[in-house]
């Protein structure tokens, strides 16, 4: 039954490959953004937008093929929701890259090491999400992968708390300086929440196939 639902037809197999590529591009975008932070080269953050456009093309193709009749009806909504959540992670990554280009350098330096930790964990979570999806397709056990993603998300929550404590001590005379760095941190840390949500939907799909 699982083989029939997940990988029984050519259309389903094509969608599965597209979903893998979609997640892989998210991994590439996260790594690209991380390199921008590590080098301090704000212009290189535009690679995120380029990769997001590539991923958006794949996302539209996936949704279109699902609406053509791929997969059994009861599983379609969860697959579509999974794709939407991954797409939202792309959006937050692109927004973080945009805000980073305008963050005041002296403010960023206060939290630079924390942000670098976050982008490393985000990249790890992207890779774990890909492994989790491949595990689902191979009929493996998702619990270990989901747990690893949850542990990573908790680490980012802890780092976010430290960042907020550091920034609270900084006096700002310009509203926009504060808003930009606040938005940057919010977008950067939201990515892990979305990856965790996407992982949860993989588990929902797995349970629905039992």
Residue 104 sits in a domain whose CATH number is 1.20.58.220
Q: What pLDDT is recorded for position 8?
A: 55
Low-confidence ranges of the chain (pLDDT < 50): 1, 4, 7
Q: For residue 73, what pLDDT is reported?
A: 81
Q: How far apart are CA 39 and CA 192, in angstroms?
A: 22
- When divided into structural domains, the chain yields a total of 1
Q: How far is CA 191 from CA 61, 72, 90, 173, in A?
A: 23, 30, 8, 29
Residue 66, Cβ neighbours under 10 Å: how many? Answer: 19
Can you give the residue range of the structural domain that contains 117? 2-208
Instruction: Identify the sign of the CA torsion 100, 33, 124, 87.
Output: positive
Which pTM was predicted? 0.92
- Of 159, 133, 158, residue with least CA distance to 146: 133
- pLDDT value for 1: 40
**What pLDDT is stored for residue 53 in this prediction?**
95
Residues 6 or more apart whose Cβ sits within 8 Å of residue 185:
111, 115, 160, 163, 164, 167
Q: How far apart are CA 140 and CA 206, in angstroms?
A: 9
The 10s digit of each residue's pLDDT in 30-59 is: 999 999 999 999 999 999 999 999 999 999
């Amino acid at each position: 039954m699982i083989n029939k639902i997940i990988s029984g037809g050519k259309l389903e197999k094509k969608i599965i490959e597209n979903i893998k590529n979609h997640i892989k591009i998210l991994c590439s975008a996260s790594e690209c953004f991380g390199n921008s932070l590590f080098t301090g080269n704000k212009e290189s953050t535009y690679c995120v937008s380029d990769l997001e456009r590539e991923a958006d093309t794949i996302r539209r193709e996936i949704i279109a093929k699902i609406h053509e009749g791929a997969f059994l009806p009861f599983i379609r909504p969860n697959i579509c929701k999974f794709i939407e959540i991954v797409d939202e992670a792309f959006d937050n990554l692109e927004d973080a890259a945009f805000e980073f280009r305008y963050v005041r350098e002296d403010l960023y330096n206060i939290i630079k090491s924390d942000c670098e930790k976050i982008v490393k964990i985000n990249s790890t979570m992207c890779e774990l999400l890909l492994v989790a999806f491949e595990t689902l397709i191979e009929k493996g056990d998702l619990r270990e992968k989901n747990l690893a993603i949850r542990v990573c998300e908790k680490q980012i929550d802890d780092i976010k708390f430290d960042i907020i404590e550091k920034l609270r001590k900084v006096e700002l005379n310009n509203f926009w300086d504060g808003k930009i760095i606040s938005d940057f941190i919010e977008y950067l840390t939201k990515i892990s929440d979305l990856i965790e949500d996407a992982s949860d939907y993989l588990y929902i799909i797995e349970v629905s196939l039992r």
